[in-house]
């Protein structure tokens, strides 16, 4: 059987007034710029096609057990992705690669939705593994950051519905993962959640900030980001960083399932396209600045002051852990 092909050709007028400044500096600059602008459009098109494929109601059995991520589908057809990198699920390259692959698996499978949680009783995720940023091998650091970007694209821009059962602390990258989901239920108690990058002497990238600004109010986000605020569970609920407080992990997962059930009566394609349109802007922004974002990260790591801050932070963490 033949397959339908869609051609989307662009002819660039490299002598157009808007292109002249760049074309006069660099050959093919107009074509390159057209290509960059086209990428987000193609991404959304691919997502829409993937949504259409998900309209079929059957759910394939899925169980993928990497050492660092456990992925299972429960009887209701909901995928449960459990991070399991002791002691604190810090996101190193290996864990990010497994998350990325597991997200692909969920997308391929016709799951009703996905719940992200952790196998630790006290930590959802400690965020990025600081050891990936401290005195790094630059080649690995580049792969690390690119994989983190991939994970965000796949999670924030997923066509399947997502929820986070936050069963412990969720600083920085841990908070980002949960904010990239559509719904958050967090276990009550002494846990905290937030983007605390400035406390480490580092700056949360723009797409981290965008994700937070689309979860809580801009005013709250600015205050939280500049003061490295870690919200208690009650504070997080008050400013809508989380949606519900749960009594324990099982309760958090049940609350996420109740959220996912809301979509039973909503046509999946309409739901997915609506979600992607709502999230289109930050996705497009990172797609167009992706290479620059990697370079910014790498040059940040080369900055001696950043390395010094990281060293002091690691020492403080180790001293605290030794007590
Ligand atoms: C102009 C724009 C330019 C943009 C350029 C980009 C710039 C870079 C931006 C990078 C963005 C960064 C995002 C991040 O996610 S950074 C990571 C931030 N995370 C944290 O600050 C959390 C630190 N950890 C904790 O607070 C606690 O560990 C936690 C509350 C999570 C759990 O406490 P608990 O008491 O249960 O556990 P311990 O503290 O005893 O820790 C156990 C061991 O784990 C080690 N650990 C903890 N967190 C991390 C981590 N994030 N990475 C690596 N290792 C970690 C800790 O040291 C203990 O180790 P030892 O047992 O060996 O001592």
- CA gap 85, 131 in Å, rounded: 14
Q: Which of 51, 92, 167, 196 is catalytic?
A: 196
User: pLDDT, tens digit, for every residue of 251-281?
Assistant: 999 999 999 999 999 999 999 999 999 999 9
- Would residue 197 show up in a list of annotated catalytic residues for this protein? yes
Closest CA to 178 of 157, 189, 162, 198: 162
Atom of ligand 1 nearest to the CA of 299: 5
Closest C-alpha to 74, from 243, 260, 271 = 260
Q: How confident is the model at residue 289 (pLDDT cuts 50, 70, 90)?
A: very high
Ligand 1 neighbour 131 (Cβ under 6 A)? yes
Q: What is the reported pLDDT for 323?
A: 86
Whole-prediction pTM: 0.85
pLDDT tens column, 127-144 = 999 999 999 999 999 999
What's the angle, vertex CA 95, arms to CA 308 and CA 190, rounded to 5?
70
Q: Say whether 303 is catalytic.
A: no
What is the residue with the minimal CA distance to atom 35 of ligand 1? 321
Strand bridging mode 113-118 / 78-83: parallel
Could you tell me the sign of the dihedral formed by the alpha carbons of 143, 117, 283, 302, in that order?
negative
Ligand 1 centroid to residue 172 C-alpha, Å: 8
Angstrom distance (rounded) from CA 81 to CA 181: 12
Distances in Å between the alpha carbon of 93 and those of 63, 97, 143, 145?
22, 6, 8, 8
Over residues 169-180, the pLDDT tens digits come to: 999 999 999 999
Residues 124 and 318: their CA atoms lie apart, in Å, by: 19
Contact 204, 229 (CB under 8 A): no
Residue at token pair 């403080």: 316
Ligand 1 pocket, residue 128 CB under 6 Å: yes
Convert the pLDDT of each residue in 101-117 to its tens digit: 999 999 998 888 999 99
Edge-to-edge strand order for the sheet containing 69-73?
Answer: 63-65, 69-73, 78-83, 113-118, 162-166, 184-187, 244-246
Q: In angstroms, what is the span from residue 313 Cα to ligand 1's centroid?
A: 9
Task: Please count the helices (runs of H) and the strands (runs of E) in the chain.
Answer: 11, 10
- Could you tell me the distance, in angstroms and rounded to a whole number, from the CA of residue 127 to the centre of ligand 1? 6
For the CA of 318, the closest atom of ligand 1 is 63
Instruction: Tell me which residue has tokens 């940040």.
Output: 300
Q: How many angstroms separate the CA atoms of 54 and 109, rounded?
A: 8
- Ligand 1 atom closest to Cα of 122? 36
Q: What is the DSSP letter of 91?
A: B
Q: Is the dihedral of CA 104, 174, 307, 92 positive or negative?
A: negative
Provide the pLDDT for residue 177.
Answer: 99
* Nearest residue to 275 via CA among 173, 175, 155, 166: 155
ipTM of the complex: 0.97
Higher pLDDT, 309 or 1: 309
Task: Collapse the DSSP code of 154 into the 3-class scheme (helix H, G, I; strand E, B; otherwise coil) and give the result.
Answer: helix
Residues in the chain: 323
**CB-based contact 105:71 (threshold 8 Å):** yes
- Torsion on CA atoms 293, 173, 78, 213, rounded to nearest 10: -70
**Which atom of ligand 1 sits closest to the CA of residue 176?**
15
Residue range 216-231: mean pLDDT, rounded? 98
Find the catalytic residue in 155, 197, 200, 276. 197
162 CA distance to ligand 1 middle (Å): 25
């Amino acid at each position: 059987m033949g397959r339908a092909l869609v051609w989307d050709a662009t002819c660039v007028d490299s002598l157009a007034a808007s292109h002249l400044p760049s074309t006069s500096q660099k050959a093919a600059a107009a074509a390159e710029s057209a290509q960059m602008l086209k990428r987000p459009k193609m991404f959304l098109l691919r997502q829409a096609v993937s949504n259409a494929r998900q309209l079929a109601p059957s759910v394939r059995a899925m169980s993928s057990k990497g050492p660092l991520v456990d992925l299972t589908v429960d009887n209701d057809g909901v995928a449960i992705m459990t991070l399991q990198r002791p002691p604190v699920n810090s996101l190193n390259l290996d864990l990010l690669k497994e998350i990325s692959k597991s997200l692909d698996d969920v997308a391929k499978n016709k799951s009703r939705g996905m719940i992200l949680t952790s196998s630790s009783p006290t930590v959802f995720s400690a965020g990025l593994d600081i050891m990936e940023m401290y005195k790094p091998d630059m080649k690995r650091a580049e792969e690390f950051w690119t994989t983190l970007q991939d994970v965000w694209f796949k999670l924030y821009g997923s066509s399947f519905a997502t929820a986070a059962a936050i069963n412990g602390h969720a600083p920085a990258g841990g908070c980002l993962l949960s904010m990239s989901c559509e719904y958050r239920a967090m276990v009550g108690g002494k846990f905290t959640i937030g983007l605390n990058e400035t406390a480490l002497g580092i700056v949360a990238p723009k797409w981290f900030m965008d994700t937070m600004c689309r979860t809580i109010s801009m005013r709250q986000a600015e205050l939280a980001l500049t003061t490295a605020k870690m919200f208690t569970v009650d504070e997080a609920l008050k400013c809508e960083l989380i949606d519900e407080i749960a009594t324990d992990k099982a309760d958090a997962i049940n609350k996420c399932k109740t959220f996912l059930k809301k979509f039973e009566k909503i046509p999946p394609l309409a739901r997915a396209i609506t979600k992607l349109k709502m999230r289109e802007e930050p996705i497009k922004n990172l797609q167009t600045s992706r290479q620059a974002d990697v370079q910014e990260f790498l040059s940040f790591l080369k900055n001696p002051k950043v390395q010094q801050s990281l060293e002091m932070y690691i020492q403080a963490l180790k001293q605290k852990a030794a007590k």
